[in-house]
Amino acid sequence: MPIDPWAHARAVPAASAGSAASAAQGSEVLEFFATSPRGTADLLLAELREFGAAAAKENAGGVFFRGTLAVGYRACLWSRVANRVLLVLARFPAADADALYAGVQTLDWPRHLSPHGTLAVDAAASRSQLTHTQFIAQRTKDAIVDTCRTPEGVRPDVDTQQPDVRINLYIDRDQAQLALDLGGGSLHRRGYRRGTGAAPLKENLAAALLLRAGWQPLAVAGAPLVDPMCGTGTLLIEAALVAGDIAPGLLRGDCGCANWLGHDPALWATLWHEAQARQAAGVGRTGAIVGYDLDPEAVHVAWENIERAGLLGVVHVETRELGEADPPPGASGLVICNPPYGERLGEHAELVQLYRRLGERLRARFTGWEAAIFTGNPGLGLELGLKAFRTHTLFNGPLECRLLRLHLQAASFAPQVPPGSVRVARAQQRIAERATPSAGAAMFANRLRKNVRLLGRWAARAGVSCYRLYDADMPEYAIAIDLYASAERWLHVQEYAAPATIDEAQARTRLDEALSVLPALLEVPVERIVFKRRERQRGTAQYEKQADAGNFIEVEEHGVRLLVNLRDYLDTGLFLDHRTTRARLRAAAHDRDVLNLFSYTASASVQAAAGGARTTTSVDMSSTYSGWARQNFALNGFPEYAHRVVVADCLRWLEEAPVSPCGLIFLDPPTFSNSKRMADTLDIQRDHVALIDHCLRRLAPDGLLVFSTNLRRFKFDREAFPELAVEDWSARTLPQDFARNPRIHQCFALQRPA
């Protein structure tokens, strides 16, 4: 098992082989290293000090400590958090195989292991010339058995399952630490669990969660505990062991090193009987410990585990759906659970609902209790609608997880974060948990603060309430931020998809840094910040629903009221880069009949109506956006008889609808469409001439045709229209908030000469 002893160990010499073997008969101080899951070393340190450990010091992988053999035995018998308790035997240089072999042979192995005994070697290496752990283990084993070999050739055998002695060898920077595994293997195996169910939680990690959650003082007071998603009962059983003052080692049946020649059976027996007496006195003092799970098979396995742990009558489990989880009668206590993390594709949406239902049940039935939710997906924790007063980082194997601790009081009940805002809340949480302040977040905040100052002044002078604050101004922070000011301020944030050459973890960190500063700097709460990822869209993808919140807000543009929806679709219903274009259309619309093709939500048509247009006709193939357009007209009091909204394929409509001359036509097609007209697709670069020709048939002799496209590399074919006056409006229709991105759209005005 990898450990990193060197900073502490160089100052504390290891026990000699002879002293370790003879310690059973005396009170000699030995050196130990106990390992534990990442994020739990402080809990292990507190335990070891209770057992009498001296000079105890935390390490990334566990705790170094000194003490008599009795202290080591107590750690094996009583530690709820430790993985292994290692008795350090020696340290020596091991830059190559020969040095390793020679160093192992310096120990007096016959004082530890009989020639007729068995052994196993666990090896690990880090930052060393020897890297092949199987070879290291084999070479170590050879050195041990060669030392123990009798003149008759008898030597120890290897038994990887139940050896008499288990040896741990760790090499770091070519320095080896050799230790005896005093527990004989990982101490998380208590002995009560046979079936594990899906995604099992190791017993010692479960115990660590309970200790982190403050279960020990609650248990002493006789408080109850509930796990509403108990699975096979690991948290429940570990909670009962804590509450009943039961040593986890009692369930394993032996000390794990009974055949080690340095073992002291009398000492072990004394400690064993002491633990049995404490169990007999403590088991009757436990409060109610109850678990529920929807899966009957998991509940069946939980009952078997409870029986093997000797806790029938102490722990109770039932098959119940989450919505039926109830507290036992009496005082409040601790509710704790380990919900699914959602690591597989397609699970996230289901788990959002699961976490929301969990939060609802906690608020409804467990008010006044303490709660602890262990999750490998902190973003899902936000769906609980509860404010954690403390968050702990622990690792479930290699997976970084969070233990969210909650006071289930009205003050901690938070509004649920809408799906589009969860990414922002998650970014805040990640940045807040950093050990050092984020330099990247500060750098991004400085740039955004400058934009707010400059663009805010411009917007106030121009009477603009919805505008772009930031558009990938710093390439490493590739997002666009739009401010929508209505009765409340909203932010619409879009991430530009990073190219495949950008490291995914780095891109996520940069995004976290940017998103984390938005609520405080722009004074917009998380639930009014909507995040989306912007990628190249195909076909009708840009029109498909992203969510179903139905969250319309009303904004104002040039005195016109318009509805926007920040959550439900990729686009919001108002293209901000066309703000100036719409103003020009409004100015040109007076006393004209106006045609708006690919009209979307008809914001341009509404502006034309406000400019005095006689009639407007807005054509779009989406019934959803057409309904939205009618709402925009109604919001401003413009009658339907004068302002028609037509649901139709624009290409087909141009060919089939009766021709009625229009004084103003606005043509703003998509860059690509799967329409079955125009050679089966609409490619605006290829087809813009034909499309404009169709429109010209409807243009009045003195009319104006305004053509716009967002295709960045678009080339307008001026030679195709020799009879027209073509004016490039691209620069003139570029709003100040899009000045950094002059290719955001291209715009052309076409007129017949007077």
Q: Higher confidence at residue 117 or residue 540?
A: 117
Tell me what pLDDT residue 348 has. 63
Q: How far apart are CA 57 and CA 33, in angstroms?
A: 10
Torsion of CA 247, 253, 258, 264, to 10 degrees: 40
- Residue 23 confidence class, pLDDT cut points 50, 70, 90: very low
Question: Residue 17 pLDDT more than 60?
Answer: no
Nearest one of 118, 126, 34 to 81, comparing CA atoms: 34
| Cα end-to-end span (Å), the chain | 88
Tell me what pLDDT residue 197 has. 52
392 bridge partner residues: 403
Question: Residue 19 pLDDT more than 80?
Answer: no
Domains of the chain (ranges, CATH numbers): 6-181 (3.30.2130.30), 203-244+286-416 (3.40.50.150), 439-535 (3.30.750.80), 563-751 (3.40.50.150)
Q: Higher confidence at residue 620 or residue 382?
A: 620
Q: How far apart are CA 372 and CA 207, in angstroms?
A: 13
Q: How far apart are CA 155 and CA 117, in angstroms?
A: 8
- Residue 352 confidence class, pLDDT cut points 50, 70, 90: confident
Question: Residue 7 pLDDT more than 50?
Answer: no
Strands (E), 75-212: 84-93, 118-126, 157-158, 165-172, 175-181
Question: Residue 502 pLDDT more than 70?
Answer: yes
* β-strands 334-337, 370-375 pairing: parallel
Whether 58 and 140 have beta carbons less than 8 Å apart is answered as: no
- Residue 65 confidence class, pLDDT cut points 50, 70, 90: very high
What's the DSSP call for residue 417?
Answer: P
Question: Residue 21 pLDDT more than 50?
Answer: no
Question: Residue 280 pLDDT more than 80?
Answer: yes
Tell me what pLDDT residue 341 has. 75
Residues of the chain above pLDDT 90, percent: 72
Q: How far apart are CA 357 and CA 374, in angstroms?
A: 16
pLDDT digits (tens, 9 = 90+) for 301-310: 999 999 999 9
Tell me what pLDDT residue 18 has. 40
Tokens, residue 195: 């079936």
Question: Residue 542 pLDDT more than 50?
Answer: no
Question: Residue 433 pLDDT more than 90?
Answer: no
Question: Which ranges in 366-499 belong to alpha helices (H)?
Answer: 378-381, 419-432, 439-462
Tell me what pLDDT residue 573 has. 95
- Residue 538 confidence class, pLDDT cut points 50, 70, 90: very low
pLDDT digits (tens, 9 = 90+) for 628-673: 999 999 999 999 999 999 999 998 999 999 999 999 999 999 988 7
Q: Higher confidence at residue 102 or residue 24?
A: 102
Q: Which amino acid is at 115?
A: P
Whether 534 and 496 have beta carbons less than 8 Å apart is answered as: yes
Average pLDDT, the chain: 88
Q: Average pLDDT of 19-44?
A: 78
What's the DSSP call for residue 328?
Answer: P
- Residue 506 confidence class, pLDDT cut points 50, 70, 90: confident
Q: Average pLDDT of 616-621?
A: 96
- Residue 543 confidence class, pLDDT cut points 50, 70, 90: very low
pLDDT digits (tens, 9 = 90+) for 164-192: 999 999 999 999 999 999 999 999 999 89
Q: Higher confidence at residue 289 or residue 423?
A: 289
Tell me what pLDDT residue 235 has. 97
- Residue 514 confidence class, pLDDT cut points 50, 70, 90: very high
Listing DSSP states for 714-741 in one string gives ----GGG-TTSEEEE-TTTT--GGGTT-
pLDDT digits (tens, 9 = 90+) for 468-495: 999 999 988 999 999 999 889 999 999 9
Tell me what pLDDT residue 535 has. 52
- Residue 296 confidence class, pLDDT cut points 50, 70, 90: very high
Nearest one of 538, 540, 517, 539 to 529, comparing CA atoms: 517
Question: Residue 412 pLDDT more than 80?
Answer: no
Half-sphere CA count of 254, side-chain side, radius 13 A: 12
Q: How far apart are CA 232 and CA 309, in angstroms?
A: 13
* DSSP H or E segment with residue 408: none
Whether 617 and 661 have beta carbons less than 8 Å apart is answered as: no
Strands (E), 326-369: 334-337
Q: Higher confidence at residue 245 or residue 414?
A: 245
Q: How far apart are CA 124 and CA 607, in angstroms?
A: 72
- Matching residue, tokens 């002695």: 165
Half-sphere CA count of 227, side-chain side, radius 13 A: 30
Tell me what pLDDT residue 157 has. 92
Q: Average pLDDT of 422-445?
A: 82
Residue 467: Cβ within 10 Å count: 20
Tell me what pLDDT residue 497 has. 81
pLDDT digits (tens, 9 = 90+) for 73-125: 999 999 999 999 999 999 999 999 999 999 999 999 999 999 999 999 999 99
Residue 485: Cβ within 10 Å count: 15
Q: How far apart are CA 475 and CA 117, in angstroms?
A: 65
Tell me what pLDDT residue 680 has. 57
Tell me what pLDDT residue 679 has. 42
Tell me what pLDDT residue 737 has. 96
Residues of the chain above pLDDT 70, percent: 91
Question: Residue 676 pLDDT more than 60?
Answer: no
Listing DSSP states for 510-526 in one string gives HHHHHHHHHHHHHT--G
Q: How far apart are CA 464 and CA 101, in angstroms?
A: 78
Tell me what pLDDT residue 252 has. 86
672 bridge partner residues: 683
Tell me what pLDDT residue 20 has. 45
Question: Residue 448 pLDDT more than 70?
Answer: yes
- Matching residue, tokens 């998603």: 229
Whether 220 and 210 have beta carbons less than 8 Å apart is answered as: no
